[in-house]
Amino acid sequence: MADDLRPFKTAPGRTLLTVLLLSLAAGCASAPVPPPAQSLPAAPEATSAQFMVATADPAASEAAVAILRKGGSAVDAAVAAQAVLGLVEPQSSGIGGGAFLLHWDAGTRKLSTFDGRETAPRSAQPNLFLDEDGKPLDFMAAALSGKSVGVPGAVRMLELAHRRDGRLPWADLFQPAIDLADKGFAVPPALAAALARDQDLTRDPEARAYFYDPAGKPWPAGAILRNPAYAETLRAVAAGGADAFYRGPIAQAILAEVNDDGTQRMTAEDLAAYRARERAPLCGPYRVYEVCSMGPPTSGGLALLQILGILQNFDLAPLDPDGAPAIHLIAEASRLGFADRDRYVGDSDFVRVPVVQMMDAGYLKARAGQIRGDRTIGEARPGKFSDPLIVAQASQRQFEPASTSHIVIVDSAGDIVSMTSSVEMAFGSHRVVKGFLLNNQLTDFSFLPASEGRLTANRVQAGKRPRSSMTPAIVFDRAGNPAFALGSPGGPNIIGYVAQALIQMVDWGRSPGAAAAAPHVLNRNGPTLIEAGTRALDLRAALEALGHTVDERELRSGLNIVQFKNGRMIGASDPRRDGIARGG
């Protein structure tokens, strides 16, 4: 637990690392090695000794700052920021989706974590996404249907966190978003770009009326957009609390949309019964730090800690941060972490997830021993554990769209919120209800409930929460004080984005702005993904010489990072999106 921290010593360089470096040099000698990749220009940074906010949109950051200046807590500011993000960044998150939240109470020195993940309705069965022949449905057909919508969790979770750690009245926190929705806001570049790419929003009448002009063209960046329906929804939630969302007219509108074809998939009881959960933080050592995140039903924290725990067995500091040896190590550790993630992780209220075994230092050292210096291990196999109920689970590789949003807020008392929220793919299920979009998070479940006679940990079950990749994190130094808080959107790439940013800052001393802007190289136990348009592509030949299959991709992270250093905070927001860090 983060309120009982002990120092962690840096793992010494091991013989395996020496072998790795020598063999890397030999393995790459036959092919010309291009100059190493260079970091992109660092993201603008904000510094402050009082409070810090980093969100995906300037309007959301401004709303959070306004709440903090009124004496609000980090949780208060997070509620206000999320309400605004649901308006200006609806393609990524909103009250129709879910979230995971970490909260550090500086006074009590306690870390709490809150689970606001969506749940499957009680009618959901393991064959939810199978056709009549037992084959998986087309992903987009499933995602755009009512059966993809999970019971939203964000509002109930935010209310739970506010009851615990809020300072200002709940009703006051929604006013910035209500004012923007009523008066109008300029369409941000990220929203305009998402609208221009989308081919399916026009299917929904409310979405078509809101997101497109009278000629049927998507609103461009800078156009003034009003959303009075969203303002009315927020007024109801502000006055009546979360119950106003989960019961009454808003709930009935959600049910009408989800069950629009006459099939009763979700009921009033499903909505009324939803509960956010407080769960134990998941923490593990990395160098002299303790890294804390969320446990299942998200796979993010567990995979992050496995990757870092494997890399704990190597001394990365002497390596070139942008060179092939470092990138190879990180990619191989990620392969091993994703192999375990795909096999074992699901909602721990329904399946037995071997969290303790997966984080065991001896186990991770053995996994690190599989890494070869002269060649990639290729597709990694999951580890094996003694529990037969765990071994019976099958691996799952499910398509996971890359949308989501992350917030980091630090208030004047030193309390911290690190929260990741999502509606799943861009614009969720593409269904607008009372001014907000409904999620399509149930497509995060495995479409196949079993494979080769083995059950899938992440199979659909009534009341279950689908596996996520969201990875909100807070990192503590050897004295138990916050050192970093961060997270990112990006679907399954979130895990790699957060791991890479932490390694950049911890092992190589890069600033939050430089870490957020660094070119991405990721591996999810398949091809090694290199960010398109960056100098990381210069590593292609060296990585291919080691056996990596290299795939150039657009890797649009949205990292928001706050570092605590010498009594001040340094905040940065990923330059790939519209975000901004603000101090005060």
Distance, CA of 442 to CA of 361 (rounded, Å): 34
Segment (H or E) for 205 = helix 205-211
| pLDDT over 80 (residue 32) | no
Q: What is the pLDDT of residue 403?
A: 78
Mark 106-142 as b/e (b = at least 16 C-beta within 10 Å). beeeebbbbbbbbbbbeebebebbbeeeeeebebbeb
Tokens at residue 104, please?
């550090």
Does residue 482 contact residue 144 with C-beta atoms inside 8 Å? no
Neighbours of 490 (CB within 10 A): 29
Mean pLDDT score, 308-319: 97
Distance, CA of 261 to CA of 557 (rounded, Å): 36
Mean pLDDT score, 346-359: 96
Burial of 246 (0-12, 13-18, 19+ CB in 10 A): buried
CA angle 278–113–301, rounded 5-degree value: 120
When pLDDT is cut at 50, 70 and 90, the band that residue 250 belongs to is very high
Burial of 243 (0-12, 13-18, 19+ CB in 10 A): middle
Helix and strand totals (H; E) in the chain: 20, 24
| pLDDT over 50 (residue 3) | no
Tokens at residue 361, please?
């230092």
When pLDDT is cut at 50, 70 and 90, the band that residue 8 belongs to is very low
When pLDDT is cut at 50, 70 and 90, the band that residue 288 belongs to is very high
Catalytic residue annotation: 404
Neighbours of 160 (CB within 10 A): 21
When pLDDT is cut at 50, 70 and 90, the band that residue 398 belongs to is low
Tokens at residue 67, please?
């709440």
Q: What is the pLDDT of residue 40?
A: 61
Q: What is the pLDDT of residue 42?
A: 79
Query: Looking at 366-415, which runs of residues are DSSP E strands?
Result: 393-394, 405-410
Lowest mean pLDDT segment, chosen from 123-132, 196-205, 265-274, 444-453:
444-453
More confident residue, 32 or 106: 106
Q: Terminal CA-to-CA distance of the chain, rounded, Å?
A: 30
Neighbours of 388 (CB within 10 A): 7
Q: What is the 3-state secondary structure (H, E, C) of 329-349?
A: HHHHHHHHHHHHHHHHCCCCC
Distance, CA of 134 to CA of 80 (rounded, Å): 44
DSSP secondary structure letters along 110-171? EEEEEEE--B--TT--TTTTB-TTSPBPPHHHHHTSGGGPPBP-HHHHHHHHHHHH--S-GG
SS3 content of the chain, % helix, strand, coil (to 5): 35, 20, 45
Mean pLDDT score, 471-494: 97
| pLDDT over 90 (residue 5) | no
Distance, CA of 446 to CA of 448 (rounded, Å): 5
Q: Shortest CA distance to 558 belongs to which of 483, 484, 498?
A: 498
| pLDDT over 50 (residue 21) | no
Does residue 93 contact residue 422 with C-beta atoms inside 8 Å? yes
Does residue 511 contact residue 295 with C-beta atoms inside 8 Å? no
Q: What is the pLDDT of residue 412?
A: 97
Q: What is the pLDDT of residue 18?
A: 37
Distance, CA of 493 to CA of 480 (rounded, Å): 29
Q: What is the pLDDT of residue 252?
A: 98
Phi, psi of 463 (to 5 degrees): 80, -5
Average pLDDT, rounded, for the chain: 91
Domain-wise residue ranges, the chain: 69-99+115-276+424-456
Residue with tokens 């309705």: 121
Q: What is the pLDDT of residue 397?
A: 67
| CA within 13 Å, CB half, 331 | 32
pLDDT digits (tens, 9 = 90+) for 230-244: 999 999 999 999 999
